[in-house]
Amino acid sequence: METSFTQKKYTKLMLSIGCMFILLNCTFLSAQSIGFLMPKNKISAKIPFEYINNFIIIELSFNQSLPLKFVFDTGAENTLFTKREVLELFGYELGRKFTVLGSDMKTELTAYLVQKVHLSTDLLKAPSQDVLVLEEDYIDFEKFIGIQIHGIAAADLFKRYIVKIDYQQKEIQLYRKLPKKLSKYQKAPIVIERSKPYLNAPINIDGNVSFPAKLLIDTGADLGLLVNVKSDSSLNIPPNNLPCNIGIGLGGYLEGYLARVNALEIANYRFENLIGSFQNDTELANSISVSKRNGIVGNRILDRFTIIIDYLDEHIYLKGTKKWQKAYNYDKSGLTFILTGIRRRDFIIQQVIENSSADLAGLKRGDKLKRINATPSFLLSLSTLNHKLSRKVGKEIKLMIIRDGNLLKKKFKLKEII
DSSP state of 229: G
CB-CB contact of 82 with 150 (8 Å): yes
For residue 307, being part of any structural domain is answered with no
Task: Name the pTM for this structure.
Answer: 0.90
Looking at the predicted structure, is the pLDDT value of residue 210 above 80?
yes
* Position 15 pLDDT exceeds 90: no
7 pLDDT exceeds 50?
Answer: no
Does one domain contain both 120 and 201?
no
3-class SS of residue 231: helix
237 and 152 inside one domain: no
Count how many domains the chain has. 3
Half-sphere exposure of 398 (CA within 13 A, CB side): 5
Q: Look at residue 20 and tell me if it is in a domain.
A: yes
Are 94 and 198 contained in the same domain?
A: no
CB contact at 8 A, 78 and 129: no
Question: Are the C-beta atoms of 222 and 19 separated by less than 8 Å?
Answer: yes
pLDDT of 343-401, one tens digit each?
788 999 999 999 999 999 999 999 999 999 999 999 999 989 999 999 999 999 999 99
Q: Per-residue confidence at 32, pLDDT binned at 50, 70, 90?
A: low
Cα–chain center distance at 191: 20
- Asked whether residue 161 falls in the same domain as residue 229, the answer is no
* Boundary residue ending a domain (301, 327, 343): 301
Q: What is the CATH number of the domain that holds 39?
A: 2.40.70.10
Residue 349: which domain range? 335-413
Q: Based on the fold, state whether residues 165 and 210 are members of the same structural domain.
A: no
| pLDDT tens by residue, 155-180 | 999 999 999 999 999 999 999 999 99
Residues 292 and 342 in one domain: no
Judge if 246 and 202 occupy the same domain: yes
- Together in a domain, 212 and 339: no
DSSP state of 250: T
Residue 17: per-residue pLDDT: 44
Contacts 24+ apart (CB under 8 A), 66-71: 66/90, 68/150, 68/151, 69/147, 69/148, 69/149, 69/150, 70/149, 70/150, 70/151, 70/152, 70/153, 71/17, 71/18, 71/141, 71/149, 71/151, 71/152, 71/153, 71/220
Q: What burial class does residue 107 get, using C-beta atoms within 10 Å of its C-beta: 0-12 exposed, 13-18 middle, 19+ buried?
A: middle
| Rounded Cα gap, residues 321 and 304, in angstroms | 6
Among 88, 108, 106, which residue's Cα sits nearest to residue 97?
A: 108
Are 114 and 45 found together in one domain? yes
